[in-house]
Amino acid sequence: MTDFSGGWPEGFRSGFACFVGRPNAGKSTLTNALVGTKIVITSEKPQTTRTVVRGIVHREDGQLVLVDTPGLHRPRTLLGERLNDLVHATWSEVDVVAVCFPSNEKIGPGDRFLVTELAKVRGTTRIAVATKTDLASPERIGEHLLDIQRLGEETGTEWAEIVPVSAVAGDQVGLLADLLVGLMPEGPPLYPDGDLTDAPEETLVAELIREAALDGVRDELPHSIAVVVEEMGLREDRPPDKPLLDIHANLYVERSSQKGIVIGHKGARLRAVGTTARAQIEALLGTPVYLDLHVKIAKDWQRDPKQLRKLGF
Ligand SMILES: Nc1nc2c(ncn2[C@@H]2O[C@H](COP(=O)(O)OP(=O)(O)OP(=O)(O)O)[C@@H](O)[C@H]2O)c(=O)[nH]1
């Protein structure tokens, strides 16, 4: 813990960074490694998360606020367009965008699309991170770094740094933190010390429920589930050593056929989703949870501005 009650040290730097990259590039794992506590949900998430502070790195010499954006994708629905606008807006508001390129995979059209889009944003520093270096040979890493450099030249992107790291092996994670802090503007801490994330608990809880609900039906319903936590609070009249957190959440699907998939035969699937999500929420918040889930139909919510607003987009 750092104590800045007497003011912050001279030369202190603070600012925002976000990791971008193709699905499974290792963004969440890297965020966790930098922050040092597991907060982010690491698995493939469809592109419906809103921008959220994922973690805060507190250091003697600076503070890094890591924000997350949904993945950029070719818009087919109103939701897709809104999300892409949100991605561009986030990129222009952060100090550094770090593009992750997994070292065990070749750079592809998806990476090129992303870097080309990113090149349109002015005034943001870009760095490239070659992730998962533990999965590649030194020769391969060398080639990969050259490919990243070349991609930069072809897209008119000036990489302030190109850094190879392995979040899993812990290689160069410290160096990456040093570089990121060094690229932040001078200024006071943006968040009080000790905050690992300011993502509202409801958002994290909703994400855990969504993850559980999508498990196994991702192919059928990849973008058709939204979760809204309607109410969350400690139950009254409980002894202090036996708290119970009540959570009421709605799972929105677009059509009644999807409702059937989510609920399952005689409600079996929804019960399993509830059990999985409850265990994860309890692990996250450290409190026993009573989870009440309801499945509702919000017809074609991805195309309806009113529904989107209600769901927080
Ligand atoms: N060996 C190895 N595996 C890694 C490393 N970083 C991430 N992974 C694995 O790669 C997979 C994807 O990692 P995530 O951190 O979830 O990737 P992401 O970019 O956040 O993925 P999306 O949320 O789908 O965009 C997980 O199985 C991780 O355990 C690494 O440095 N080395």
Q: Is 90 annotated as a binding residue?
A: no
265 and 227 in a common domain: yes
State which of 20, 28, 73, 223 you would mutate to test the pocket of ligand 1, scoring each by most atoms of that ligand within 8 A of its C-beta: 28
**Nearest alpha carbon, ligand 1 atom 16:** 42
175 and 46 in a common domain: yes
The confidence score (pLDDT) of residue 300 equals: 64
163 and 290 in a common domain: no
So what's the ipTM on this one? 0.97
User: Does any domain span residue 76?
Assistant: yes
303 and 154 in a common domain: no
C-alpha atoms less than 13 angstroms from C-alpha of 283 in its C-beta half-sphere: 12
| Range list of H helices, the chain | 27-35, 78-93, 109-119, 138-155, 173-182, 201-214, 256-263, 268-285, 305-310
pTM above 0.80, yes or no: no
User: Does any domain span residue 7?
Assistant: no
Domain C-terminal end among 155, 182, 209: 182
181's CB contacts (< 8 A; 6+ apart) are 13, 57, 59, 61, 62, 64
CA angle at 87 for the pair 81 and 90, rounded to the nearest 5°: 140
Domain C-terminal end among 148, 182, 216: 182
List pocket residues of ligand 1, CB cut-off 6 Å. Answer: 21, 23-29, 42-45, 131-132, 134-135, 166-168
160 and 47 in a common domain: yes
Q: What is the pLDDT along the chain (313 residues), one digit of tens a residue?
A: 455 555 677 889 988 899 998 888 999 889 888 986 444 433 333 333 344 667 788 888 998 888 866 556 566 666 666 666 767 777 888 899 999 999 999 999 989 988 998 998 888 999 999 999 999 999 999 999 999 999 999 999 999 999 999 999 999 999 999 999 999 999 887 776 655 555 567 777 888 898 899 887 877 776 678 888 888 888 998 888 888 999 999 998 888 888 999 999 999 999 999 999 999 888 777 789 999 999 988 776 666 655 665 555 4
Distance from residue 253's CA to the centre of ligand 1 (Å): 28
Q: Is 188 annotated as a binding residue?
A: no
Bridge partner list, 58: 63
Instruction: Report the CATH number at residue 84.
Output: 3.40.50.300
145 and 28 in a common domain: yes
The confidence score (pLDDT) of residue 184 equals: 94
177 and 206 in a common domain: no
The confidence score (pLDDT) of residue 96 equals: 95
176 and 214 in a common domain: no
The confidence score (pLDDT) of residue 44 equals: 35
259 and 136 in a common domain: no
Distance from residue 132's CA to the centre of ligand 1 (Å): 8
Q: Name the domain count of the chain.
A: 2
* Sheet-wide strand order for 159-164: 52-58, 62-68, 13-21, 96-102, 125-131, 159-164
User: Does any domain span residue 55?
Assistant: yes
145 and 64 in a common domain: yes
User: Does any domain span residue 3?
Assistant: no
260 and 169 in a common domain: no
Domain that holds residue 148: 13-182
* Sheet-wide strand order for 245-253: 226-234, 245-253, 289-297
Q: Cα(first)–Cα(last) distance of the chain, in Å?
A: 35
